[in-house]
Structure 1
Amino acid sequence: MIGDRRNPNAVQADAGLIDAFKTAATAIISDNLGRLPGAVGLRPFHRAAGIMVGTALTVRTRDGDNLAIHKALDMVRPGDVIVVDGGGDISRALVGEIMMTIAQTRGAVGYVIDGAIRDCGAFARADFPCFAKAAIHRGPYKNGPGEINVAVNVGGLVIEPGDIVVGDEDGVVAFPQAIAAELLKAVRAQEAKEAEILQSIREGRYVGAYGKPAA
């Protein structure tokens, strides 16, 4: 039934591509996606631990209700990012330390939540990535409905089941697996260009945007 669907998991992204994007900053990925895709208003709550990369397992839930997330945890595979469209509601937390621990022990690589969390101290002490809008002590309802593995909207970013999701201290981006190899080439080219620019600055060779040496 629409509004209460539990669809099969999408095919996971190639492990080699996942590993390659673990060194790619979200800012550079975004630059090479026309600077358009990106979740707005989310921030990391976890202890800094590099770049989160995985395959999207998506959840859409009613405001302040996490029943569908509990059901999704029964479907999670190693390498999945649990992406939750909570409608941006921050009046109740959708996950906390217990659900973080369940996800982590089942091999998920992170949470991306368009909503609130609680037990933020536990997240802050952990290396398990969690990106969300806010923290609040109020717990969730568990009544449903909700949908699993459907297209979701997280901070204005549409994420499809199976998309590759990347998160770091700057935020979260996502893109289809079909463009990942081409995108990676563009990212590597920009990384090399920026490395040369930084080196030229250090050596006093850099010429700024107006054709004059940088001050």
Structure 2
Amino acid sequence: MQQLLDLLNTAIEETRRVRSDDKQLILLGTSLLHPADAFMSLWKELAPKMPKFQIRLVQLQEDLNSRNREYAMLGRSSDLIVGTFDSTTLKQSFSAIQLGAYHFGIAVRSDNPLAQLDEITYSDLTHRKVLMVSTGISEKNDLVRSEMLAAEPSIQPIDTSGRYDINTFNETVEENIAMISLTPWKRIHPNLVTVPLKTSVTVPYGLLSTKFPGKKTADFLHEFTKLVPTETQSHS
């Protein structure tokens, strides 16, 4: 009897292994700046309805030769990433399914007087240096920059060399300056406090792929978009 049970258990495990091997593996890139939490919460609900696919998280690497850094690795080290996008981003060979929107904030060192505010207005930044990505990388960031300088011309934008990396946060702390930040970056650096910025501008975020992702990823996205609630879904 025990031998029969052992054989049965072996057969069950083998079946599970085969089923797992038959799944289409989708590589989802993740990093400090591109957390996958929003998608993974959704995937917990959708996974039983998409049994052909399995998600594997991979650590995103940067392409330091590109102003888009981790975005430039799409289709190379990962099939998909969760990231921000706007028309500027999408013109650079990316496609997106919107999952939500991030809000802007101002990150400052915890001992900076701005850290004590409940909300920061542009007038609070008068004569201050503000770290942000340079123009042409993000349409939404450019919009905030224009808004900010129109309201307070004395503000001094300090440009990064591309999209943010961990050194951007370190620079904010070491120089004790302000930095344009977004919702998911609130806890990246323990010495930074992020205060909401008073602006109506938000940044859409979602599931990003290359415009020609290959059959496996294209099949996944096709199934995914059929199941995602219509109020969440937005094709670009």
Provide the TM-score with structure 1 as the length reference: 0.26
Provide the TM-score with structure 2 as the length reference: 0.25
**Rg larger for:** 2
